């Protein structure tokens, strides 16, 4: 293989410990490692990977600054191995992830928050997708550009619009008032008036019901050019920071959630998203109220949404 010597090839396919040693700088660094840590999780971008758990193996090496007094036997002064497994568990529990690259990045980022950590080598492999192990390996250093934490997203006001509100002549004026308020606005809708097709199983029906709501979101977007349909949390956060009226298309966030909403009606989804985003309020205009909400709920009208 042109351009690579034997040692480089060996390091590329060896345990992350070998790469850490091969790329070490001049200064002395200690290393701690986690090997062959296997978890069963639902992960993957392909449809056949949804609804099924598969084995994923983690190998992690963390370079840490040497202790000034290594003879002092105090567990509080070191980076505990439990911090590595806790970082993996936290990221697996946060939401369903499609890409191993995303999971590796998030695990490395969490580990590097530890004061002692300098560099993190993370290898993640799927063990059940073929005859061999399929995986990724990354190395990240504290202070690297890819590890810059985004500022906290603003707390939005979620507004659930019923079907009559979507087609009301006063929709534009209502949006004017909503966008003039201090909190950014995320608009939610329920299913359209026409009943969705019925499937034989609950999983396909859940998909169909979510897609029906997304169709209604596009109906709202067609009524006012300021309403832009968005499906990811990144898009929603961007919209909130830039004063954009986002209309939530729920399929991706709901299906990727590790603990999703119990139902897929408009009110249940809006209450669930409001809690997930730390909303200041859930305002309901022309729609049914959620059965339960941890976020304050207010009633509004198209004529005056502050009702």
In a domain, 306, yes or no: no
Q: For the chain, what is the mean pLDDT?
A: 84
pLDDT per residue over 267-296, tens digit each? 999 999 999 999 999 999 999 999 999 999
In a domain, 49, yes or no: yes
CA distance 294 to 274: 8
Indicate whether 130 and 197 sit together in one domain: no
Domain region containing 188: 157-300
Domain termination residue (choose one: 147, 167, 198):
147
What's the pLDDT at 4? 43
Are the C-beta atoms of 57 and 125 separated by less than 8 Å? yes
Total number of domains constituting the chain: 2
Indicate whether 36 and 89 sit together in one domain: yes
Residue 305 has pLDDT above 70, yes or no: no
Q: CATH number for the domain including 270? A: 3.40.1160.10
In a domain, 255, yes or no: yes
Indicate whether 229 and 252 sit together in one domain: yes
- Taking alpha carbons only, the member of 140, 154, 162 closest to residue 265 is 162
Please state which of the ranges 3-17, 99-113, 123-137, 242-256 shows the lowest mean pLDDT. Answer: 3-17
In a domain, 253, yes or no: yes
What's the pLDDT at 274? 94
- Taking alpha carbons only, the member of 187, 155, 190 closest to residue 305 is 187
pLDDT per residue over 186-212, tens digit each? 999 999 999 999 999 998 999 999 999
pTM of the model: 0.63
Indicate whether 81 and 204 sit together in one domain: no
Indicate whether 191 and 267 sit together in one domain: yes
Domain termination residue (choose one: 147, 169, 189):
147
CA distance 207 to 51: 13
Indicate the burial class of 88 (C-beta count within 10 angstroms; 0-12, 13-18, 19 or more). buried
Are the C-beta atoms of 266 and 206 separated by less than 8 Å? no
Are the C-beta atoms of 87 and 110 separated by less than 8 Å? yes
Indicate whether 162 and 271 sit together in one domain: yes
Farthest CA pair distance, the chain: 76
Indicate whether 171 and 138 sit together in one domain: no
In a domain, 13, yes or no: yes
Indicate whether 135 and 207 sit together in one domain: no
In a domain, 307, yes or no: no
- Looking at the chain, the whole-number percentage of residues with pLDDT higher than 70 is 82
Indicate whether 23 and 134 sit together in one domain: yes
Indicate whether 288 and 187 sit together in one domain: yes
Q: CATH number for the domain including 78? A: 3.30.1130.10
Backbone φ, ψ for residue 250 (5° rounding): -80, -15
In a domain, 14, yes or no: yes
Indicate whether 132 and 166 sit together in one domain: no
In a domain, 81, yes or no: yes
CA distance 244 to 246: 6
Q: Mean pLDDT throughout 11-35?
A: 69
Domain termination residue (choose one: 95, 127, 147):
147
Indicate whether 142 and 41 sit together in one domain: yes
């Amino acid at each position: 293989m042109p351009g690579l010597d034997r040692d480089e090839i060996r390091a590329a396919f060896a345990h992350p410990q070998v790469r850490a040693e091969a790329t070490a700088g001049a200064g002395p660094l200690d290393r701690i490692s986690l090997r062959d840590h296997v978890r069963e999780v639902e992960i993957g971008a392909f449809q056949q990977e949804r609804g099924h758990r598969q084995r994923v193996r983690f190998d992690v090496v963390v370079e840490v600054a040497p202790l000034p007094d290594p003879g002092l036997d105090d567990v509080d002064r070191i980076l505990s191995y439990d911090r590595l497994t806790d970082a993996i568990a936290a990221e697996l529990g946060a939401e369903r992830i499609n890409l191993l690259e995303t999971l590796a990045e998030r695990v490395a980022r969490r580990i590097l928050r530890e004061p002692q950590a300098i560099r993190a080598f993370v290898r993640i492999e799927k063990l059940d997708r073929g005859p061999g192990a399929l995986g990724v390996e990354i190395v990240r250093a504290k202070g690297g550009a890819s590890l810059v934490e985004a500022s906290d997203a603003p707390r939005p006001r979620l507004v659930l619009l019923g079907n009559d509100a979507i087609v009301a002549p006063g929709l534009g004026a209502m949006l004017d008032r909503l966008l003039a308020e201090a909190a950014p606005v995320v608009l939610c809708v329920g299913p359209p008036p026409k009943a969705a097709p019925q499937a034989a199983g609950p999983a396909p029906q859940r998909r169909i019901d979510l897609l029906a709501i997304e169709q209604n979101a596009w109906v709202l977007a067609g009524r006012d050019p300021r309403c832009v349909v968005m499906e990811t949390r990144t898009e929603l956060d961007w919209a909130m920071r830039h004063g954009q009226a986002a209309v939530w298309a729920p399929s991706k966030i709901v299906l990727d959630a590790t603990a999703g909403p119990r139902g897929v009606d408009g009110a249940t989804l809006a209450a669930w998203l409001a809690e997930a985003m730390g909303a200041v309020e859930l305002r309901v205009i022309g729609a049914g109220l959620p059965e339960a909400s941890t976020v304050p709920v207010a009633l509004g009208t198209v004529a005056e949404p502050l009702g």
